[in-house]
Amino acid sequence: MLARGPAARSGAPPIEYSLLLTATLCLLALGAVMVFSASSATTLLAEGEGDGAYYLKRVILFAAIGLLVMRIASMRGARLARALTPVLVAVALVLLAAVLMPDVGRSVNGAQRWLGAGLVQFQPSELAKLALVLYGAHMLAVQPRRVRSLSGLAPYLVVVGVALLLIAGQPDLGTAVGLGAAVACLLVAAGTRLRTLLPLAAAMGIAVLAMVAAHPYQQERLTSFLDPAADTGGAGFQATQATIALGSGGVLGVGLGESVQKAFYLPEAHTDMVAAVLGEEAGLAGMAVLIGLFGMFGYAGFRAAHRSRDRYGKLLAAGLTSLVLAQAAINLFAVLGLAPLTGVPLPFVSYGGSSLIVTLASAGLILNVARGPRASAAPARNRARRRPLGAAGSGAKLRVRDGTNPARRRRRGASRDSGGRHRRSRRAGDRSRRRVAR
């Protein structure tokens, strides 16, 4: 049996569990600080407000709810989520359809993405992202042969396609692209060949182009991304101000709370552009810490997926980790000017109640997978028992009851036989010499 270290004997959690929890809590704390810094000036200066900690209080409330959900999910969340997956998928699709109704959905800045009003507001697309990853992990774990062809994946792809169309109709191109990327990573982790996914990638590309062509403001975002200086006072204003903020930060930043761009120059500073405020106040060093924390989260999540013994756990951890990283990449690329602005929040960091709660729930499910049985923890004797007898290339040698090698035993028997014949011939020679002497 493999020897276990002190951490394993004392029941300490695996390293991926500790790294994942540390990265999540650090990102959450960093987000609370940056949301307060990015929003305090505008709320103090805006007419009718006056509470600089308004958004910070809401972040603390949402974070408390999310941490409670994460704690529950980290205990037995994967089993519970698997049982509730059909309900979650049905509820998510119904809510996505309801948000598009004129008298039901709430519109903000030209996008109709929310349900409810006041403090109780919810974005159904956040629930849909989680539900579709759960559905894909369950289906591909129960029926792994579906990954061999598009026809086998058709039931899952139809549900994903309907959800993407409803999300695109809000319109919310960034969330649709992030969900599509997460689904693609999930399919690859399940064993789908890349050539099987090529038609899906082509269809999604055509759909994105059609969506951009149908909405003039998205065309403006695309053209402003290609040339922000062409319209610095219009479509390219936000991208230009983000570039100024990052450039002003330098290596070490101007200091926490000292950002100038957040004061009415940078739109949506506490939501989509919170990373730009971080880059101005903490500089390149702060951005490196932020990217490093997401790198730690991704490493721990994929390591947990790799070491899980359960196929459902593998796919669940891989899909949810890909979902978080895809959203982070889309947001950071937009802030850095490497991608068009899409309105995708930065996970754990940007302000947003439903996004924060759902993302913390996803982190809790990954923690649950990381805490479960690991493939490398299987005893060596169990692996040897499962290995086919005399398998070629396995390095295993056939043993008999006395623990010796058959080839060595044959050589030993041969040496005993030759030794016995030599002794018999020597005794016969002695007897013949005695007879001659007589």
Beta-ladder partners of 121: 116
Q: What is the pLDDT of residue 352?
A: 85
CA 382, distance to chain mean position in Å, is 31
**pTM, entire model:** 0.80
Closest CA to 379 of 14, 6, 2, 11: 2
Whether residue 27 contacts residue 348, with contact meaning beta carbons closer than 8 Å, is answered with: yes
* Domain ranges, ordered by start, for the chain: 13-377, 409-438
Whether residue 137 contacts residue 315, with contact meaning beta carbons closer than 8 Å, is answered with: yes
**Helices 124-142, 150-168: inter-axial angle, 10-degree rounding:** 180
Tens of pLDDT along the chain (438 residues)? Answer: 344 444 444 567 889 999 999 999 999 999 999 999 988 877 777 655 567 788 899 999 999 999 999 999 998 888 899 999 999 999 999 999 988 887 777 777 666 777 876 667 788 899 999 999 999 999 999 999 998 888 889 999 999 999 998 998 888 888 888 999 999 999 999 998 888 888 888 888 888 888 777 777 677 777 777 777 777 777 778 888 888 999 988 999 999 888 888 887 888 788 888 999 999 999 999 999 999 999 999 999 999 999 998 899 999 999 999 999 999 999 999 898 888 888 889 999 999 888 999 999 999 999 999 987 766 444 444 444 444 434 443 344 434 344 445 555 555 555 555 555 555 555 555 555 554 444
H or E stretch including 295? helix 274-307
Distance CA 263, CA 157 (A): 44
Burial (CB count <10 Å: 0-12, 13-18, 19+), residue 129: buried
Which amino acid type is present at position 190? A
Closest CA to 20 of 420, 362, 398: 362
Burial (CB count <10 Å: 0-12, 13-18, 19+), residue 242: buried
In degrees, rounded to 5, the angle at the alpha carbon of residue 419 between the alpha carbons of residues 413 and 420 is 90
